[in-house]
Chains A and B, each alone.
Chain A
């Protein structure tokens, strides 16, 4: 069983600020982490290898410092990390990201399963998993909370929907996105940490992926971010005064005025 996990390195906080001069995000002093949802993807990949044998590879597209996230994945039990990094990849939207990842996946064939997180902390789109599946012409199952069975080239998985869960059957290879319920990620083992120190992370760019530079990064993106801004905090922030009874009266009055009750 060969599994490929896609992970993204993201800022470890959502409390980011905009530099009013340049109108860009202030990234200095913010520590980077593995996107929280992707830690469940890593853990599931490692568990599948423990169950079925084979290999888990983790790939990430990002700037050179993303190597640290890939090494961390090795300390968590992943066999190999591949960094997709090239100045040409910068500024990619989800389409260009998925396209770059799909080219790397073609190089990694054969594999049985590609696991992505449900969504990232910074972009918040959740689009890369499904777009990757479409580009690879593979079946796709979103929001997987349990892989029940894998046998004879078929997977049976439980996935969360709004009012319950669905049991889905899919042929392999397939792409899935995972949600938090799927597992509890382990901590790095001592052996893992030792391995990650000596692990060498391959770096693939435009050349290694044999990809048209016009189809990656900003050049290959359909969308443009034309403006970023901090939302207005227009909270009235009214704290009621007086005894509890009159505070509650005030609250009910306000909610009525606002048409909320």
Chain B
């Protein structure tokens, strides 16, 4: 599995992949290896404590900012040398941009954005379940002949294992061959743009607002709820188009797809174009004064009522908790 790092830190989805990868490796009675490409990445030992048997570590300043040409060539080379049966990576922005190139170069099959992985032990096949049509249909995909079998895996669908400091593993350092591995594209600049403390793609809790909030100032109330819950703030297209919040918060067909543990929809009608982006959240709470709003069809819990009363009450109760 690919152990994605950003700014020298291993990303959360990697620990989830380790947990599932450990289960798959045990089912196949084989080893679980992680490939880490970066520079001065902290906590590589932690990967072993979370389930890896081997770490292939390629450390070079050139790899620090995840240039996809370099990652592609390096990963292809390692896969060709070590011939794993299965290769997994997080379905992050980076994973979904460069792992398809690895699969094309090898070449082998790849399924995107899987939400469940199982093993047919007899045939040693990976059964890859992925959503299509915005999550309305699930497809189970296999790669019967070509190897490795490759999948990118959606963040948040697997839980981490507990860290076990007594697990033994091996760290294998691999030289980065800069004479051979080069990048055609180059990163000229990076501009950070976090309008919020928690990014919606990685948040465990999202509080999202719709046109029911009536005006930009009322988003303050949502921000307060979000900060009480340690949540990120999401929005519908309607309010993004109104200019109440930035597009980076938009969830739905033309925005981001999210699947947090908890999604609180405030003053959102639940149009299909919105729900395709959030309906696979584990728990959905809808607050809307229209009992016929379609959002209640995807909600786990619903409150039919005026959000201007409900949200302040909710904030108060959560603060007391």
Chain A 105-130 interface residues, beta-carbon cutoff 8 Å to B: 121-130
Partner of A164, one of B68, B130, B136, B194: B194
Can you list 14 A-B contacts with CB-CB less than 8 angstroms, sorted by A residue number? A134-B105, A141-B185, A142-B96, A162-B93, A222-B146, A223-B111, A225-B141, A229-B140, A237-B297, A239-B304, A240-B303, A247-B310, A248-B314, A260-B283
Is B34 positioned at the interface, with any CB of A under 8 Å from its CB? no
- Are A36 and B254 CB-contacts (below 8 A) given A94-B100, A163-B192, A239-B296? yes
- Chain B residue, CB-CB nearest to A237: B299
Q: Using CB atoms, name the residue of chain A closest to B273.
A: A14
Pairwise interchain contact B113-A180, C-beta atoms closer than 8 A: no
Number of interface residues, chain B, beta carbon within 8 A:
85
CB-based contact A230/B137 at 8 Å: yes
Q: For the complex, would chain B's binding face be called helix, strand, loop or mixed by DSSP majority?
A: mixed
Measured in the bound complex, the distance between the Cα atoms of B285 and A172 in whole Å is 48
Q: How many positions in chain A have a CB within 8 Å of any CB in the partner chain? A: 77
- From B101, B188, B310, A134 is in contact (CB under 8 Å) with B101
B residues within 8 A CB of A142?
Answer: 68, 93, 96-97
A166 and B142 contact, Cβ closer than 8 Å, known pairs A142-B97, A251-B285: no
Q: How far is the CB of B167 from chain A (nearest CB, A)?
A: 27
Proximity bits, B293-315, A CB within 8 Å = 1, else 0: 00011111111111001100110
CB distance from B295 to the nearest CB of A (A): 11
Do A260 and B261 have beta carbons less than 8 Å apart?
A: yes
Residues in B neighbouring A124, C-beta threshold 8 A: 112-113, 130-134
The one of A168, A247, A254 in contact with B187, judged by C-beta atoms closer than 8 angstroms, is A168
Q: Are B138 and A252 in contact (CB under 8 A)?
A: no
Residue on B nearest A96 in the bound complex, by CB: B109
A residues engaging B (CB < 8 A)?
Answer: 11, 13-16, 18, 25, 36, 93-95, 98, 121-131, 133-135, 139-143, 156, 160-171, 174, 180-181, 221-231, 235-240, 244-245, 247-249, 251-252, 254-256, 258, 260-261
Given contacts A229-B137, A237-B302, contact A167 B189 (CB under 8 A): yes
Q: Which of A11, A160, A235 contacts B299 (CB 8 A)?
A: A235
A50 to B149, CA, bound (A): 44
List chain A residues, Cβ under 8 A from B298. 235
Determine the chain A residues whose CB is within 8 A of the CB of B255 once the complex forms. 180
Point out the residue from A25, A140, A162, A240 that lies within 8 Å of B201, measured CB to CB.
Answer: A162
Nearest A residue to B135, CB-CB? A231
* Contact B190 A255, beta carbon cutoff 8 Å: no
Give Cα A133–Cα B193 distance, bound, in whole angstroms: 28
For A239, list chain B residues within 8 Å (CB): 291, 296, 301-304
Considering only residues 80-137 of chain B, those with a C-beta below 8 Å from chain A are 92-94, 96-98, 100-101, 103-105, 107-113, 127, 130-137
